[in-house]
Amino acid sequence: MSSLHLRSLQWTDDGELSAGDRWSMLTSLLPNALPEVQVELIALLERTATDQALLTPEVSVS
């Protein structure tokens, strides 16, 4: 890894890593992963983006 960033992670009430921190973790692992692993990480990123979109509250304009 090019640099080390220390920060606390956010956890949900059910013990899962928050969606934003999952995204950050996956994107930081991707550049240095083996090609076979990169394919899996990309699939996880795509699923995370879909999950994030489903969790985003709808905004209505009146």
Task: List, for residues 43-61, the tens digit of each pLDDT value.
Answer: 888 887 665 555 556 665 6
DSSP 8-state assignment for residue 11: B
pLDDT band per the 50, 70, 90 thresholds, residue 36: very high
60 located within any domain: no
Question: Looking at the predicted structure, is the pLDDT value of residue 21 above 70?
Answer: yes
44 located within any domain: yes
Specify the number of domains making up the chain. 1
- Supply the mean pLDDT for the chain: 76
Residue with tokens 């013990």: 15
46 located within any domain: yes
Q: How far is 31 from 16, CA to CA, in rounded Å? A: 24
42 located within any domain: yes
Q: Which domain holds residue 44?
A: 19-55
Among residues 29, 52, 49, the alpha carbon closest in space to that of 40 is found at 29
